[in-house]
Structure 1
Amino acid sequence: MSAVLKPQAEPPETLAGIEVLGRVDGQDALLTPAALAFLAGLQRRFDAERQARLAARVERQARFDAGALPDFREDTRSIREGDWRVAPIPAALLDRRVEITGPVDPKMVINALNSGANCYMADFEDSTAPTWANLLEGQRALREAVAGTLEFDAPAVDGKPGKAYRLKPEAERAVLIVRPRGWHLDEKHVRVDGQRMSGGLFDLGLFAFHNAATLVSKDRGPYFYLPKLQCMEEAALWNAVLDEIEVQLNLPQGAMKATVLIETLPAAFEMDEILHALRSRIVGLNCGRWDYIFSYIKTLRAHRDRVLPERGQVTMTQPFLRAYSELLIKTCHHRGAHAMGGMAAQIPNPRDPVANAAALARVEADKLREATAGHDGTWVAHPGLVELARGIFDARMPGPHQHDVNRDDVKVTAEDLLKPSLGTITQAGFYGNVEVCVRYLAAWLDGNGCVPIHGMMEDAATAEISRAQLWQWLHFPDDGREPLHLDDGTPVDFALLERALIGLPSKLGNDPNVVGASRVDAAIAMLAELTHRDTLAEFLTLPAYDTFD
């Protein structure tokens, strides 16, 4: 078993303007002087543009808050109407019909690579709480997985040895795709010239430094998923970063390939432009639908005519989500790229046959919708869903993809992407949002980024939907007009929030199945503070991150 990285009380290190403020056993093998110099070079070259892109986000949101709505860009019309295609897709990524996603702890890495899925998205973002130990343990686990040496032995239970986890032969493993953190996230444990490093540059850069040459030699990338982009300029920044890494590491030009998650509302209006900005290395776009719903709420938070109903009613059959999904398929296939479907977050539960059957039926219906619409693959969060998803795509996709499904029937306007949704807010829906937020935040504060809650694998994206909905409902409207009401006539106000919160400490704090139960009080306090703010916080993980050592 590889040593687990644990906190170690030692002073910070400094190397030519680089400060490493965290310390865990074994980190020196990852953060070598050469690796730190490489990371510092990326930060110094690209962080100013990153900050400019983040400032542009703030300016764009201010226009939306003032009444403007997202729309297709006039200055990029020639890109949308031009006749161009992305570079050929490498053989390892031609068939991506089932991808499994999850955090980067050693057990998950082994299970995901052994799952039978075509690809495994190793996630440093929404499903990994970015403690210093988690991040470096993840980097170590992926480095050993690429080398084929990763092992994990579960702890003994009641005197019996724990299960031994070992990798299957390389030919039987899923293709590895790594998701770094988004442009908005910092890595506070590494400072370059006195400033926090970009979390995304740290994650992607450190992985590439240690693994790119090996992966190139195996025709396996390195491959990446790029999250939370809002516009083509942010995609172009990633393209410049990947170009620079290839030069610095003496990799073949274009060896590093990327898939972009379309998980923000502004990005849905720039799919062609994002593909174009990364056209020499992009292989597809993905419907990151949970974050997309969150972004819809956040982007249109000041528009009282576009408030979404409770989360359970916001399914892919809602017109604005169907338009987004179908536009993604049409755009990708027109450019020779994959159109990847969204996440099935259900957790199989064979101990409850009735609930299990209902959950699997929902997964089957969702994957059937995706395969029929023309998606080239889909996501699952649990190994137990791989076979089900594969069977659906196998039956409807005999080839490696569906690029021949051009969807010329799809005609999507700006209003289609913004169309208000019909639905209600029930007391169960309101209380459910509160509980999911508190339980997820408690787990996250305890170092867990991916948490089973009521039969669903919740990560930061689903928690963000719940949190953003609560804020918008409670602050709707701010102009003296009538507040929102539940379907039974109850006003949606802070008294309702207090009633939802008041019973959670006793309900959750004493439940042995609640991950991070000792953090429930802190989570309640944080949710209360975030929902009372006059302005919706951009991401709940930003204030929560500052609580980590």
Structure 2
Amino acid sequence: MTNHNLIIRNNLQQTYSDVYTPEVLSALAALAHFNKDIKEAMAARMERRKQRQQNKKRITFLDPESTIPRTSITVKDARVGNFEGSLIPPDLQRQWIQGTGPAAKPNAPLESSIRNVAYALLSGADGWMFDGEDALGQTNAMSLDNQRNLKLAIGKDPVFMQAAEKVAGEMNRWSMDFFGRNIISDWQQQLNFTTKIFRARGLHLDDRHIRDANGVAMAASLVDMILYVVNNYQQLQQANSSIVLYLPKIQTAGEAALWNDMLSALEMHLGLSVGTIKVYVLVEQLEATYQLMEIRAALGKHFVGYNTGRWDYINSVSDAMAWDKTFINPNIEAITMTYGYMRNYEDRVRRAVNTPDKHGHFALWQGGMEPNIPVGSQAGVSASMQKAVAGAEREQREGASGKWVAHWKMVHIVRPVWEKIGEVNGLGRKFPPLTYTQQDADGLIQLEEAPGTIRGARNLLSVALQYGNAFGQGMQAAALKPADFFGNDDILYLMEDMATGEIRLSILWEWLHKEARLTEDDPETGVKAGDVFSQELYTRLMQEEYEKLLKAGNKDVHDDSKRTTLPIARQIANTYVLHETKPPWFIDLLNINLNNMNADVAAQRIKLYIDTLQSKGSRITENLDFVV
């Protein structure tokens, strides 16, 4: 259906009239011109990537005399804080623990789907990032279910309040069993505790349901920002709550400036003062780490903080260094936040937020994700929780104002780390100012000795396959572990999302195409330390790990997926890993196969994607089932 020069797929404008309100459609039409800017920015991003690969070129710091695109701020001014930033609003001052997860479930009625929001807002987390991106399934109309559920919850609709009352009882029964105490005393009051935050999709993704007047798919970032803000800003303001977004996958200060223009345009359209909408930026891309102060300056009054998003970041480093045969990551388990380039990345983030702007304002640093879930054997849970707490203690010591958890059950396990210290946040902690030397640049791609093993390869393959399968089933975040540990309750499931699936395939691509040498003997395969990770070895491991998933019980691999989405997940993994040129995004191959259960159709779409990438240097990001 066409409205305000927009084309909305099927009858979604009617069935989601509470989401696609007249106010939302008006804002989409008013800001639709940004769609062209976003597409141009993404074409420029692909061109930079191509030039790096062809010319075997590393990412470098910007010229200090240059001006940040779309702004009048010079790079040298940005670096010394000569720009106008933001005060941190009261409800973001203390964010010891932020939970993350979607506000909707796949193929679930409203009363069940909205329970996700209830768990989040009753969890005791200081903030909850409701995800429209890496953890939100995109099958059918899930992105709209997500928006609907948030609107109902923020408006305290009766359907949400009824769900919340039931969920509070269930959460207390779990906590009584786990902690020996209730975690919720007054559930209605508890609903007001957590700051509501929304993560929009990145500039690189297209919305599945809206095209602009020219039939071009609307950028998902633009759609997500408008739907969330327009539908909820009045309710949030009436409750004295901030309007807060997380912005993912930003690579450059120019892209941040584009976001800033979009935010300001939306504020003007709604009659809000510029800077009303606050944003955190996920530092998930290597290029962004070379431009941290510049990104902060470009977002100006909107910017409140950075988050160190580990998994996407590892993948971006792998992608930026795909041309360098000597750059080979080890087993994923070895790449912790204290590993080589990760340690240097974290250090630059904390130094950037603790550089004052021209009014003396600092910004927040929200630490990384805790993927553990306290479900398993007593020994397994105990060991994993100790590890989770130790990780939180390290981040707190390093200066983080708080961290993320991937499950509500982790909130009361990790939050006491900050509670004990009692500091509201880490604003203004003293760290050396950022420098921009060759040594700094080298540190951001610093490798260290670490194992690369057959066990590591099996883990990479098994979880990547399971992740692709879960995505096809509508679960973009899923509790997973390698197939060899199914049935072993001492090894816990971890919450995995798009980024964790992608980095596994990235590392396998590196090992294969850069001829990584394995570091340990493996009696089962006959591999010796020093042997090269060959295509023959990859093919064998793929076959063995795939067979394990076919034989797994329904609990670990849904039986109905074994003949539908799992074979497609294998096709995608093989295409990604075996292709000579590293594909730019794993999610592209998954997205073009959403709602498709036919392996032959999947093969055609995957071939179309790869052919387009090779012949035109461009990605396919639109919904192939949305034909105008």
TM-score by length of structure 1 reads: 0.90
State yes or no: 1:146 paired with 2:188: no
- Report the counterpart of residue 196 of structure 2 in structure 1: 176
State yes or no: 1:91 paired with 2:90: yes
Distance 1:140 1:312 in 2: 37
- Report the counterpart of residue 179 of structure 2 in structure 1: none
Q: CA deviation at 1:485?
A: 3.5
- Give per-residue Cα distances to partners, 1:145-181, cap 9 Å, x unaligned: 1101225759x9xxxxxx9x99633664310010010
State yes or no: 1:407 paired with 2:443: no
User: Could you tell me which amino acid in structure 2 is paired with residue 512 of structure 1?
Assistant: N
State the secondary structure of the residue aligned to 1:40.
helix
State the secondary structure of the residue aligned to 2:415.
helix
Q: CA deviation at 1:16?
A: 4.3
Correspondences of 1:70-219 after superposition (within 5 Å): 70-74=59-63, 75=66, 76-84=75-83, 86-105=85-104, 106-149=114-157, 150-151=160-161, 168-169=188-189, 172-193=192-213, 194-219=215-240
Structure 1 residues 361 and 252: alpha-carbon distance in aligned structure 2, compared to 1, 3 A threshold: same
Q: CA deviation at 1:516?
A: 4.8
For the 8 Å contact 2:122–2:191, the answer to whether it is kept is: no
Unaligned runs of 5+ in 2: 67-74, 105-113, 167-172, 174-183, 357-361, 482-492, 522-527, 596-628
Q: CA deviation at 1:338?
A: 0.3
State yes or no: 1:376 paired with 2:401: yes
- Give per-residue Cα distances to partners, 1:1-39, cap 9 Å, x unaligned: xxxxxxxxxxxx122432212446831222234422322
Correspondences of 1:238-249 after superposition (within 5 Å): 238-249=259-270
- Give per-residue Cα distances to partners, 1:480-539, cap 9 Å, x unaligned: xxx544533343122222222223444223421225551211211221122222221111
Structure 1 residues 167 and 186: alpha-carbon distance in aligned structure 2, compared to 1, 3 A threshold: farther
For the 8 Å contact 1:132–1:189, the answer to whether it is kept is: no
Q: Which has the larger displacement, 68-77 or 497-506?
A: 497-506
Q: CA deviation at 1:399?
A: 2.6
State yes or no: 1:57 paired with 2:45: yes
- Give per-residue Cα distances to partners, 1:422-460, cap 9 Å, x unaligned: 212111110111111110000101111110012100000
User: Could you tell me which amino acid in structure 2 is paired with residue 316 of structure 1?
Assistant: M
Distance 2:129 2:29 in 1: 26
User: Could you tell me which amino acid in structure 2 is paired with residue 450 of structure 1?
Assistant: A
Pick the aligned partner of 2:373 from 341, 347, 365. 347
For the 8 Å contact 2:120–2:408, the answer to whether it is kept is: yes
Q: Which runs of 4+ in 1 moved over 6 A?
A: 409-412
Distance 2:336 2:546 in 1: 31
- Report the counterpart of residue 495 of structure 1 in structure 2: 536
For the 8 Å contact 1:54–1:184, the answer to whether it is kept is: yes
- Give per-residue Cα distances to partners, 1:23-64, cap 9 Å, x unaligned: 468312222344223223322x21121122112212221232
For the 8 Å contact 2:151–2:231, the answer to whether it is kept is: yes
Q: Which has the larger displacement, 196-205 or 84-93?
A: 84-93
User: Could you tell me which amino acid in structure 2 is paired with residue 468 of structure 1?
Assistant: S
State yes or no: 1:430 paired with 2:457: yes
State the secondary structure of the residue aligned to 1:531.
helix
State the secondary structure of the residue aligned to 2:326.
helix
State the secondary structure of the residue aligned to 1:253.
coil
User: Could you tell me which amino acid in structure 1 is paired with residue 28 of structure 2?
Assistant: L
Structure 1 residues 212 and 170: alpha-carbon distance in aligned structure 2, compared to 1, 3 A threshold: farther
State yes or no: 1:421 paired with 2:421: no
State the secondary structure of the residue aligned to 1:413.
helix
Q: Which has the larger displacement, 437-446 or 101-110?
A: 101-110
Structure 1 residues 171 and 526: alpha-carbon distance in aligned structure 2, compared to 1, 3 A threshold: closer
Q: CA deviation at 1:125?
A: 0.5
Pick the aligned partner of 1:461 from 484, 496, 499. 499
Distance 2:6 2:395 in 1: 46
Structure 1 residues 366 and 409: alpha-carbon distance in aligned structure 2, compared to 1, 3 A threshold: farther
Distance 1:538 1:452 in 2: 25
For the 8 Å contact 2:465–2:566, the answer to whether it is kept is: yes
Q: Which has the larger displacement, 499-508 or 351-360?
A: 499-508
User: Could you tell me which amino acid in structure 1 is paired with residue 195 of structure 2?
Assistant: V
User: Could you tell me which amino acid in structure 1 is paired with residue 17 of structure 2?
Assistant: D
- Report the counterpart of residue 160 of structure 1 in structure 2: none
Q: Which has the larger displacement, 62-71 or 233-242?
A: 62-71
Unaligned runs of 5+ in 1: 1-12, 157-162, 478-482
For the 8 Å contact 1:341–1:376, the answer to whether it is kept is: yes
Structure 1 residues 171 and 152: alpha-carbon distance in aligned structure 2, compared to 1, 3 A threshold: closer
Pick the aligned partner of 2:16 from 15, 27, 33. 27
- Report the counterpart of residue 413 of structure 2 in structure 1: 388
For the 8 Å contact 1:231–1:267, the answer to whether it is kept is: yes
User: Could you tell me which amino acid in structure 2 is paired with residue 20 of structure 1?
Assistant: I
- Report the counterpart of residue 484 of structure 2 in structure 1: none
For the 8 Å contact 1:151–1:167, the answer to whether it is kept is: no
The alignment yields a C-alpha RMSD, in angstroms, of: 2.2
- Give per-residue Cα distances to partners, 1:284-323, cap 9 Å, x unaligned: 0110111111111111111122211010111111121111
For the 8 Å contact 1:124–1:203, the answer to whether it is kept is: yes
Distance 1:334 1:34 in 2: 39
Q: Which has the larger displacement, 316-325 or 220-229?
A: 316-325
Distance 1:132 1:88 in 2: 40
Aligned residues: 521
Q: CA deviation at 1:92?
A: 0.8
Distance 2:202 2:380 in 1: 35
Distance 2:374 2:388 in 1: 10
For the 8 Å contact 2:84–2:301, the answer to whether it is kept is: no
Structure 1 residues 152 and 125: alpha-carbon distance in aligned structure 2, compared to 1, 3 A threshold: farther
For the 8 Å contact 2:122–2:190, the answer to whether it is kept is: no
State the secondary structure of the residue aligned to 2:254.
helix
Correspondences of 1:200-349 after superposition (within 5 Å): 200-335=221-356, 336-349=362-375
For the 8 Å contact 1:213–1:251, the answer to whether it is kept is: no
For the 8 Å contact 1:216–1:255, the answer to whether it is kept is: no
State the secondary structure of the residue aligned to 1:418.
coil
User: Could you tell me which amino acid in structure 2 is paired with residue 302 of structure 1?
Assistant: W
Distance 2:416 2:533 in 1: 44
User: Could you tell me which amino acid in structure 2 is paired with residue 416 of structure 1?
Assistant: G
Distance 1:191 1:400 in 2: 44
State, as a whole percentage, how many aligned pairs show the same letter: 28
State yes or no: 1:69 paired with 2:58: yes
Distance 1:69 1:257 in 2: 32
User: Could you tell me which amino acid in structure 2 is paired with residue 128 of structure 1?
Assistant: L
